[in-house]
Amino acid sequence: MRYNDRIKIVTTQSVDGELGPVTKKIISDWLECRITGVSQTMNIGVFGKYNSNALAVHLKGGLGTISGVIYNGVERKPEVVIKARKNTIVVIQGV
Percent of the chain with pLDDT over 90: 12
DSSP string, the chain: ----EEEEEEEEEEEEETTEEEEEEEE---EEEEEEE--HHHHHHHHSSS----EEEEEES------EEEETTEEE-EEEEEE-SSEEEEEE---
The class level of CATH for 5-92 reads mainly beta
Mean pLDDT of the chain: 85
Instruction: For 44-78, write each residue's pLDDT tens digit.
Output: 777 777 777 888 889 888 777 888 999 888 999 88
pTM metric for this prediction: 0.80
